[in-house]
């Protein structure tokens, strides 16, 4: 949970405003249905295979985000102000 929260909240900050309604629904399902947050972390980091019911374009986006190709420091969750920012 400690590692997943910064990952998922930073992913949300970067991507929610540009997701389609379908993608938002998939993301909502992903963060609310699995009973174990560690599963989502393991799927995002490819430590475990993603179950077919969660394998979709949002999971692909999350896995790509988890690779952190820009080598950004991701130690803290962002403030929630981004939820109130206008879409870009």
**Could you report the per-residue pLDDT of 4-61, keeping only the tens digit for each?**
566 777 888 889 999 999 999 999 999 889 878 889 989 999 999 999 999 999 999 9
**Is residue 78 scored above 70 in pLDDT?**
no
How far apart CA 56 and CA 76 sit, in angstroms, is 27
74 Cβ neighbours under 8 A, 6+ residues apart:
6, 7, 10, 68
Judge if pTM exceeds 0.85. no
- All domains of the chain, ordered by start, with CATH? 4-83 (1.10.150.250)
């Amino acid at each position: 949970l400690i590692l997943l929260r910064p990952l998922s909240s930073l992913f949300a900050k970067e991507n929610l405003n540009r997701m389609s309604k379908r993608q938002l629904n998939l993301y909502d399902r992903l963060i609310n249905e699995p009973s174990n947050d560690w599963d989502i972390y393991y799927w995002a980091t490819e430590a475990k295979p993603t179950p077919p019911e969660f394998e979709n374009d949002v999971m692909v986006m999350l896995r790509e985000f988890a690779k952190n190709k820009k080598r950004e420091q991701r130690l803290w969750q962002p403030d929630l102000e981004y939820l109130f920012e206008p879409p870009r």
